[in-house]
Amino acid sequence: VIMAATTSAAVTESPGLETQRKEIESLLQEHELRAGDTWYLVERRWYEQWKEYVVTGDQNSSSFPGQIDNTELFEELDSYHLKERLVENEDFVLIPAEAWRNLLAWYGMVDDQPALERKVVDLPSTVKVEVYPVEIFLCLHSNMENVVTAQFSRADHIHTIQKVMMKQFEVVEGAETRLWMKSSDTCCERLRNVHVNVLDSCLISGMTVIMEMRNADGTWPSSRPQIIRNSVEEQESYRGQPGVCGLTNLGNTCFMNSALQCLSNTPPLTEYFLRSAYLEELNFTNPLGMKGEIAEAYADVTKQMWSERHYSVVPRLFKTKVGHFASQFLGYQQHDSQELLSFLLDGLHEDLNRVKNKEYIELRDADGRPDQEVAEEAWHNHRRRNNSVIVDTFHGLFKSTLVCPECRKVSVTFDPFCYLSVPLPFSKDRVMEVFFVSLDPVAKPVQHRLVVPKAGKVFDLCSALSEMTNVSVNQMVVADVFNHRFYKIYHADESLSCILDRDDIFVYELSSRSVEEEGDEVVLALYLRERSQYRDSGSGSSSCGTSLFGHPLLMAVPRVQCSRNALYHLFLQRLRDDCCDGGQWDGQADGPAVTQTQESGKQVQAEGTSSEVRAGCSTEDSASASCSAEASAGVPTNSQQGAGLQQQQPCETEVEEEKGECLPQTNERKGYQARCRKLLFSIQAVNSNGTTERGMGEDGSAFSFSSQPYVAIDWDPDMKKKCYNENEAEKYVKHQSMEVPHQQTTVQLQECIELFTTVEILEEENPWYCPICKKHQLATKKLDLWSLPEVLIIHLKRFSYTKYSREKLDIIVDFPLRHLDFSGCLLRKTGTNGEPPSRYDLIAVSNHYGGLRDGHYTSYARNKDNGQWYYFDDNKVTYAREEQIVTNAAYLLFYHRQDKIRQPTLLPPSDSSSSPAQPANDVTSHKHDGMERATSCVNMETD
């Protein structure tokens, strides 16, 4: 196996590729997660490349992965902190220790990178590899300036932290100590039970643990109010509007806070808990419930938020309970507010289910019976097993109609629902950002924003770019560039769905000759490499390795010029914007800078048609040295140089065939003889990864390129430092299309509801068994609304998932704040006037800002007591105007049926520019997502 560059350790003799594959696969299959074991993170793309390599069975395969390189997993390479929100099997893979040791021995690792070693921890309901340990700050109460950073597992007990702190700060053994957890600048909480673990105590990264020691007089230092605030006294003195209360973000828990604020402002549910009706309905025996613990935890949060005594509530106990009963919410990763809401409503229902023993009920098909009869039977059966405040408030009924495509059998059922998940009209277009690399060597890459068909091909991307650049589609090649190499070069007929939004896509312009004269030109993939010397500890000899840098290039080269000498000139011309002449620039700080030479006033042609290697040096011997860039030192530049290209005075030399030396023709050129011995770079044919070197023609003869050819430009470190401006090479410019925001589409909520009730064909993964045909069929399915609940939750399905892509739909859904009318689509026709109440008013909205892998949740809600709208952003609360509520961030909509809405018992604030808290509180303007809101912000302090 060829070793990649930059490693200082020797790679052991590796077994055959088939043996490697079997060993690693066997280790992965045998090893189960056991608490205390060690596993390792490996960057996914490297691991996939390795798998492809060993499957080929050819050690000279172009898929050789090189050294283990986890660069893409780090936020930055100084501290080697992991990036946040990395996803297993998408960003990294986990392998057991023995498999890691094998891979490390066979391939080595990039210098200075630490191994990403992680422990397996036993958490409630799950055993998992702890990718992100908890990093907290430790200090003594008597000296808070001396802070020590330490990492602990979530399975570690608080007692472990206590022992570490006593040792770190040299506390006398046997001294009486106690710990405080500082979660914000104004909040400290006693860690009373040192036998609980870090997870259950809600300690998260970034928090501080303070240790204090008892005073000689028996008091504690924290008993002084100025040191740790007495929150009880503050609560007694503070009086605010009930329900206008923030929720502290415990670490990526904005999704939970958003859902809680919406539920908190759902009047029937909140009043149920405030009057303590739940106490008599707690179901401790329901095997589907949570022993009443979720209901009690939710009750505690609700009572605190509506007590008037809190600026903000810290929902630690609630978060702990949620993680205990739903392992998917363990830890502090970002989650979906709709998923949390779904779990919470189901958990509250089972904890408060009035049915203690659920009877078995056999469901019946309609079999031609009237809808009214079948619907009443279905609802009655549902209530026989499910009877709670959640069913009373949130459950409705829809009609499901299935039709067999073969025998036309019609099956009608009525099913309960807790919320409506409505689809959004799916856009047929997609916005992509690409970098266009022009043929002009002086031009920087240009970043473009394109609108292309979602179901389109790579050809469509090129067509859209062609309209902006006036470059023919046939002269474009599209490539995914990753880690200084071509991860993939796309064909024109490949689907755009294979390209992810996060991929770095480069589109290269090729010369027109490569299109017009098919077969006369070859497209070269050009890598930039730096050579380095390192000591082989096994043999004791010195070896040479390479490392990739910069952006690769694609170039169309005439086949007749595929010699080492001709390619040198072509590459030199192509790179002239990135190279400099040893710093001899007459004061210019940057810009195009490769030195070009001339002989007898004749400039070397840009297309490499000249036969010289450099400045008059003969090409008869491909190994002969050419005039170095250093030859320009002290030589005045030509005032007629073009495009910033620095030219030299002629270095009139000739080659002595036997010695290969550059001999000056005049005494005036003797000073340059020593400098005419070195090329700027050398050229080497390589595999697709730029690691394994291929054979090349001898004596400068033409190379034979059969498949996609990859060529490397190898720089000596000193020459690269003098002649290649890496910072300049990395620069790019933005096209005006990057400044124009993509026009957002607006749809009406009614359109989404109509899509929900549209006839569709079942997916192949979820067929229906037809009782007549006696086989599974892809039947047509139609959902209709039969009855609606008192509080209707509408989930806008903004997140779209396909086999190759995931995206968030940011279109604006225009939803009404009042008088949402379902009379036109509700099937049930009963009541005194022939129709049930069907008009709704909006009471709350959960918002999601950002993309798929990151983002932030907030909420709007209407206070039930004073009718005022508020904006909740974790522990910050601001007044909101109704015209602010409809945005493209709206995700969950809460509607209250008008016949159940009672009038506010308090007058709304007379001036919404004043603080909803006491006048003594500080009020500041609030900004969110770059838009200044014309509202005021209450400083919500953490209790």
Q: Are 557 and 567 in contact (CB under 8 A)?
A: yes
Check residue 192 and give its pLDDT: 66
Q: Is the dihedral of CA 781, 337, 873, 898 positive or negative?
A: positive
What share of the chain has pLDDT > 70, as a percent? 76
What does the DSSP 8-state code read for residue 642?
Answer: S
**The pLDDT of residue 888 is above 70:** yes
**The pLDDT of residue 96 is above 90:** yes
Check residue 172 and give its pLDDT: 87
pLDDT category at 706 given cuts 50, 70, 90 is low
CB atoms within 10 A of CB 818: 11
Check residue 112 and give its pLDDT: 81
Quick one: angle between helices 254-264 and 337-351, nearest 10? 50
Higher confidence at residue 627 or residue 434? Answer: 434
pLDDT category at 274 given cuts 50, 70, 90 is confident
Quote the tokens at residue 270: 């909140």
Which contiguous run of DSSP H or E holds residue 254? helix 254-264
**All structural domains of the chain:** 17-122 (3.30.2230.10), 134-213 (3.10.20.90), 237-422+750-897 (3.90.70.10), 429-533+546-579+682-691+705-737 (3.10.20.90)
Quote the tokens at residue 390: 């959640």
Encode pLDDT of 114-125 as tens digits. Answer: 899 888 888 777
**The pLDDT of residue 844 is above 80:** yes
What share of the chain has pLDDT > 90, as a percent? 30
**74, 108, 119, 241 from 115: Cα distances, Å:** 12, 11, 13, 53
**The pLDDT of residue 461 is above 90:** yes
Check residue 229 and give its pLDDT: 39
* DSSP SS3 for 834: coil
Check residue 799 and give its pLDDT: 83
Mind giving me the DSSP string for 738-758?
Answer: GTSPPPPPEEEHHHHHHHHTS
Bridge partners (DSSP) of residue 859 are 846, 872
The average pLDDT across 909-922 equals: 44
Quote the tokens at residue 661: 């030396």
Check residue 104 and give its pLDDT: 92
Strands 420-423 and 410-417: unpaired
Check residue 643 and give its pLDDT: 31
- Burial of 235 by CB count in 10 Å (0-12 exposed, 13-18 middle, 19+ buried)? middle
Q: Is the dihedral of CA 613, 617, 619, 621 positive or negative?
A: negative
Check residue 908 and give its pLDDT: 77
- Which of 91-95, 514-518, 651-655 is least confident? 651-655
Bridge partners (DSSP) of residue 430 are 452
Q: Are 846 and 336 in contact (CB under 8 A)?
A: no
Check residue 631 and give its pLDDT: 35
pLDDT category at 63 given cuts 50, 70, 90 is confident
In terms of Cα–Cα distance, which of 675, 624, 622 is closest to 648? 675
The average pLDDT across 44-69 equals: 87
Residue reference for tokens 């291929």: 694
In terms of Cα–Cα distance, which of 604, 626, 631 is closest to 613? 626
Q: How many CA atoms lie within 13 A of 451 on its CB side?
A: 9
Quote the tokens at residue 370: 């009237």
**The pLDDT of residue 458 is above 70:** yes
Alpha helix ranges (H) inside 654-795: 717-723, 726-729, 749-756
What does the DSSP 8-state code read for residue 193?
Answer: -
Encode pLDDT of 362-404 as tens digits. Answer: 878 778 888 899 999 999 999 999 999 999 999 999 999 999 9
Check residue 653 and give its pLDDT: 33
Quote the tokens at residue 1: 């196996």
**140, 156, 163 from 153: Cα distances, Å:** 21, 5, 15
d(C-alpha 690, C-alpha 702), whole Å: 20
The average pLDDT across 488-506 equals: 88
**Which residue type occupies 719?**
M
Residue reference for tokens 């509607």: 895
- Burial of 289 by CB count in 10 Å (0-12 exposed, 13-18 middle, 19+ buried)? buried
**The pLDDT of residue 901 is above 50:** yes
pLDDT category at 743 given cuts 50, 70, 90 is low
Q: Are 412 and 401 in contact (CB under 8 A)?
A: yes
Check residue 140 and give its pLDDT: 94
Mind giving me the DSSP string for 866-920?
Answer: T--EEEEETTEEEE--GGGS--TTEEEEEEEEGGGPPPPSSPPPS-TTS-SS-TT
pLDDT category at 635 given cuts 50, 70, 90 is very low
Catalytic residue ranges: 254, 856
* pTM score, whole prediction: 0.53
**The pLDDT of residue 60 is above 50:** yes
d(C-alpha 258, C-alpha 338), whole Å: 10
What does the DSSP 8-state code read for residue 169?
Answer: T
**The pLDDT of residue 628 is above 60:** no
d(C-alpha 568, C-alpha 578), whole Å: 15
Encode pLDDT of 217-260 as tens digits. Answer: 445 587 643 333 344 444 456 778 999 999 999 888 999 999 99
- Averaged confidence pLDDT in the chain: 78
The average pLDDT across 641-651 equals: 33
Check residue 655 and give its pLDDT: 35
pLDDT category at 539 given cuts 50, 70, 90 is low
Check residue 37 and give its pLDDT: 87
Quote the tokens at residue 354: 């009035």
d(C-alpha 883, C-alpha 935), whole Å: 12
